[in-house]
Structure 1
């Protein structure tokens, strides 16, 4: 099963500035676990680089990802625009 999600990260901007990027990564994992109903989520390096692109404080307001589910494992990659 393959799906494309636009994950809003605006709620993550309510946490302290120096915790935003790590919180955004945890939020992406939780979002995918909830929507794809899977326990094992593998996030690609490209997603991590996109979140951390402007540092720990300035995360993007949303991110577009592709989630591919095989058995109980979900692999998350960045969608190329």
Structure 2
């Protein structure tokens, strides 16, 4: 059962074009409305340690739904990394975020840039 690879014809490999999706940045979004929010996550710390960060994400989503009056929105990777940065057990006490609404009504949540 020895296979002789040299006698086999090489298989043709199709080149697949990979389209890289660039992360949406604030400069690319045409801003119709922009608001800054400080979201207090103090109540998250009363939940058990293993559930704190998922609850922090839920609190963030509920806050944005209530204040921007939208159901669907996107949270940028930077905000997600801010919340999950200290692990599952230690979310931040508060978040300062920037909510940007574009022409189509899409809302994207970015971290507020400290100047």
In terms of fraction of residues, the more helix-rich structure is 1
* 1:2 alignment counterpart: 34
Structure 2 residues not aligned, in runs of 5+: 1-32
In terms of fraction of residues, the more strand-rich structure is 1
Q: CA deviation at 1:74?
A: 1.1
Q: CA deviation at 1:53?
A: 1.0
Instruction: State the alpha-carbon separation in 1 of the partners of residues 106 and 61 from structure 2.
Output: 12
Structure 1 residues not aligned, in runs of 5+: none
* 1:54 alignment counterpart: 86
- TM (normalized to structure 1)? 0.93
Q: Which moved more, 1:68-77 or 1:43-52?
A: 68-77
Contact 1:20 1:59 (C-alpha < 8 Å) held by counterparts: yes
Compute the RMSD of aligned alpha carbons: 1.0
SS state of the match for residue 101, structure 2? Answer: strand
- TM (normalized to structure 2)? 0.67
Could you give the per-residue CA deviations for residues 41-81 of structure 1, whole angstroms, max 9, x where no partner exists?
A: 10000011011111111111101000012343210001122
Q: How many residues end up aligned between the 2 structures?
A: 81
Larger Rg: 2
Instruction: Tell me which of the two structures has the higher relative contact order, counting C-alpha pairs closer than 8 angstroms and 6 or more residues apart.
Output: 1
